[in-house]
Structure 1
Amino acid sequence: MNSIIFCLIITISVALYLWIRKIDEETILIFLLCAFCVMLSISFLEIIAKRYEIFDGIGDLDMSATGQVGDFIGGVVGTLVAAISIVLLYKTLTAQRESSNNQANEFAKSQNESRFFELLRIHRDNVSEIEFEYIENKSKIAKSRHFFVVAHKQLEFAFTEFDEYINHYKLSISDIYENEYLNKLKENKTIIDRNINDYILLAKMDVCYLVLFFGVGKNGKEEIIEILNAKYKNSFVNAIIDFYRMKPSGSSKYHKTWKALIKDNEFFNNYEAIAQEREDCENDETPNNDLAYGYNNQSAYYPDNYIKYYGGHRFRLGHYYRHLYQLVCFVHYNTELSPDEKKNYTRIIRGQLSDYEQILFFYNSISQLGRVWELASNNNESIDKNDHLISNYNLVKNISKRPLVNNIQTQSIYP
């Protein structure tokens, strides 16, 4: 009995030590099982020694008694050993399975990391390959991230001219939107939750970004009209694109004429007459060409055979945004990544975007081309909150605190 008490004390002490050292529960249970078997064996041997006269009283073994006891112990112990062997075999197989799963997880993680950084490298290459020649007093070339500064400046011009056009013709929401599309916007849960109710501002960011992206050349105009069909009034879309077409590129010899009209606030006084003159010319009628403006009665007319200021950046920005969307979706929809890992990866993506890249990305996400990021699906329905890619990962978090167009803050659209 004393030996059992001693073993019990030792067992409890060792178990407490293992628990304090935060050894896994399975190891502690195996230790306790082994200790129990040892104590059981000791107890059993003590009982056998007392009940059976194994010794003949003078220190010699009684072989007949030991034979019976040996057969009994062999049967019992053999069974116990077999049971313990099964437990240990299960433990070994479980450990092998866990090791195999860990190796598979590590391999999958390594594959994900390799794929992510390869996509990130392609994104950097896309940025470095961007190049745009423009005129600002003299010919210049904007490369890589500097392009986004120049493109943003063009977009700001488009915003200003949009306001001038809307204010001059005193256009209202009903003059701009098709009713069915406007109602879908008003029913969109995301737009309601964000309290976005300035629908003229939404149209402004949408139309101006499309003008920047596609340009207002013949092909660009056709694509914008097709995209905005059944969303905005066709008469409005055609008219405002023709208005943007009036602005020549800085390299055009007519740029000075346009600039003088703007400077003297005579553009809208002559805009419709110039458009009519151009239509007459296309119909093989000789234009009057007697339009005058300003104090020197200079001709306000200039033909439509020039490079447009809004030439478009589709071939610079199209692949850039498609790949950026693919990169973020790779992280967001990856079932092998935990939520924390996804946030860490998207922080790396955000760190690659300059302020002006994020500003242009912000406007892209509000236009028809980029609303699938968060505001609306391709059929103009609201997107599930779990798939709000910009808000969930704070992709425009680093934009400077200064307000953007119409003094809006990015947080008001993407909290």
Structure 2
Amino acid sequence: MDYIKAAWAWVVNAVVPFTPKDEATWGQLGDWIGGVGGTIITFASLIALIFTLRVSRAAMTRQSVYALFAAMSKTHDDLIASFQLNNSKGSDVFRILLSDFIVCLKFTSKHYPELTIHQTIDVAYTIFFFGSTITGRELLKDKYDSNKIDTILDDISNIRNRLIQRYPEAKGRRLSGNQSRLSNYYRNLYAIYTFIDESNLPTQEKRSILKTIRTKMNNHEQTLLALNICSRLGSKWEDEKLLTRYEPIRNIPKGFLTLPNGEAIEDLFPEVKFEFEERQEKRTVLMNFEYHGFCASVKIKRINATGNLKLGLQTIGGSTNKRLTATE
């Protein structure tokens, strides 16, 4: 007990500068406690106020980000709703646009076979976007053979004229360039991604927000965006790593668009983890066999994208029940 009392006295002497021994010193003790305690409470209140202001500011910033994102998302929807080509409207127009690009790609690979796949897409998409306008011709002739570009444009013009004669009442002219239709659309889409990317939101929340934009885009729309990124017109998507961080084209199905030399559109984007690749990572195949009372089931499971397989074999025959597993 003496040790406890001595320890307590030492603590009191260390915290309190004096120990009240009579009633005269109680007032001094109260003043000291009030001064120290008041200072501590004031400091704690200041810290709480600063924390509250920071939380409020973050909430206001988040609210403003979501409000502006909602406005830009609505603009995205309005632009798509305004699309009209032949008898198609809205997002269905992208199906026709992709068909027009394939025509441009066909004649580009026919008359300019020595180009690489990226150069072929660059030429075809530039023609698809600008048509036979002076702007498109000048952009291409700065880098590519002008005679071959003229030949490609002449063939595309012939196809366009045939379509006009066959469908004279159609709204919009196919293969006449899509600059007026797609320029605002891609400009707004790029602005949405850069705005969210530059905001102070957490990374996972950024991905969740931009996922809502991707879910609005059908397969043809995402494929055209991928082609835009491959061309000189959309190079900023890769330069600023937006493609890698948010994968706006990850829903393109496997083999959706076949390119020259048998390449697929997904082969051009090794940095993107497509949705069909995730499904293939864990794939289970179950095969059952039965012969004269002897039963066997084989389960093959793909563990990862490197192609490692896990094989499970279970045999049931009479009173035996064996299981063999192997990894290769």
**TM-score, normalization by structure 1:** 0.57
Alignment map for 1:326-345 (pairs within 5 Å): 326-334=191-199, 336-345=200-209
CA distance in 1, matches of 2:12, 2:185: 69
CA RMSD for the aligned pairs?
A: 2.9
Q: 2-side partners of 1:94 and 1:208: how far apart?
A: 61
- Counterparts of 1:130 and 1:248 in 2: how far apart (Å)? 19
SS state at 1:337 partner? coil
Alignment match, 2:177: 312
Matched, 1:205 2:121: yes
Deviation sequence 1:72-109 (CA, Å, 0-9, x none)? 34334422320111001111111122112211111111
> Aligned letter for 2:150?
N
Q: How does 1:226-375 map to 2 (within 5 A)?
A: 226-253=138-165, 310-334=175-199, 336-374=200-238
Task: Return 5+ residue gaps in structure 1 as ranges.
Answer: 9-35, 49-68, 134-140, 174-198, 256-306, 375-382
Amino acid of the residue matched to residue 206 of structure 1?
A: D
1:394 is aligned to 2:247: yes
User: How do 1:79-94 and structure 2 match up within 5 A?
Assistant: 79-94=32-47
CA 1:352–1:308 in 2, change beyond 3 Å: closer, same or farther? Answer: closer
Query: Match of 1:249, SS?
Result: helix
CA distance in 1, matches of 2:195, 2:29: 60
- Report the AA paired with residue 151 of structure 2: A
Task: Flag the structure with larger Rg.
Answer: 1
CA deviations on 1:245-269 (whole Å, 9 max, x unpaired) are 23243444499xxxxxxxxxxxxxx
Question: Which ranges of structure 2 fall in alignment gaps of 5 or more residues?
Answer: 272-328
| 1:86-165 paired onto structure 2 within 5 Å | 86-133=39-86, 141-165=87-111
* 2:264 matched residue in structure 1: 408
Q: How far did residue 403 of structure 1 move?
A: 4.9
**Contact conserved, 2:111 with 2:148, CA < 8 A, in 1?**
no
The letter of the residue matching 1:356 is H
Number of residues of Structure 1 aligned to a counterpart in Structure 2: 259
In the superposition, the TM-score normalised over structure 2's length comes to 0.71
Would you tell me which structure has more strand in proportion to its own residues? 2
Shift of 1:145: 0.8
Instruction: Determine whether 1:225 maps to 2:137.
Output: yes
Identity %, equivalent residues: 20
How far residue 327 of structure 1 moved from its aligned partner, in angstroms, is 0.8
Call closer, same or farther: CA 1:252–1:338 in 2, change over 3 Å. closer
